[in-house]
Copies of this chain bind each other. A is one copy, B any other.
Amino acid sequence: MAGILLVEDDLSVRTGLELALTRQGHSVTAYGTGEEALDHVRARRPEIVILDVMLPGIDGVEVCRRIRRLDSLPIILLTARGDDLDMVVGLEAGADDYVVKPVEPRVLDARIRAVLRRLESASADRISFGDLVIDRGALKVTLANREIHLTPTELRLLLELVRHPGQVLNRRYLLRAVWDHNHVADSRLVDACVQRIRAKIEPVPAEPVFIHTVRGFGYRFSPP
């Protein structure tokens, strides 16, 4: 685990949490002020930031806003007050979660893991539909663990279809989205491209499992 940045001005709370989180297997760096925290974020990139709202100098909510401007790091706000308004302001500032002190280390740990898990699954670079895995980070597609080579246009078309699972997309839309063609040219372009994709990813191209033809309307991607 890369590193938690803990920002809390109360020394006893800080060392207490630092110790507890370290015990839970996290690697923790702790600071007492917002300025130090911002420097740390700029220099290294912590995996997650736990930020007290009440800080000397720049307050936690403001630090949160500034971090947001730098990066989309997950941020958990920590507050002594149970004030609802506070919470609304904090979440509006871009915090990912909001925990009220005193907090049980076990609970904080659960929330940290929840935020990280959530982010990980949301920003996952790969989408899979049964045997078909589309790795958007590496721009690679695999079918049953065998790598499939798709050309750029084919990949773009597949991604466009996959982006709207279950939806029927018509040819004109696809021409605009994938080819930037505005003219409503009646051509076999989309069909030919779909055919090429099917030839590569469909076990039996004549009975497509992924890309379905909807006669008179267009194509629909739906997982098997």
Which residues on A are within 8 Å of B, measured CB to CB?
45, 72, 84, 87-88, 91-92, 94-97, 104, 106-107, 110-111, 113-114, 117-119, 121-123, 136-139, 151-152, 155-156, 159-160, 163, 165-166, 177
CB distance from A103 to the nearest CB of B (A): 9
Give the distance in Å from the alpha carbon of A51 to the alpha carbon of B187 in the complex.
48
Copies of this chain in its oligomeric complex: 2
Residues of B within 8 A of A88 (CB): 106-107, 110
Contacting pair A84 B107 (CB below 8 A):
yes
Nearest B residue to A104, CB-CB: B84
Nearest B residue to A91, CB-CB: B114
CB distance from A217 to the nearest CB of B (A): 19
Residues of B within 8 A of A87 (CB): 107, 110
Identify 11 residue pairs between A and B in the complex whose beta-carbon atoms are under 8 Å apart, listed by A's number. A84-B107, A87-B107, A91-B113, A91-B114, A94-B117, A118-B118, A123-B123, A137-B163, A138-B159, A139-B156, A151-B152
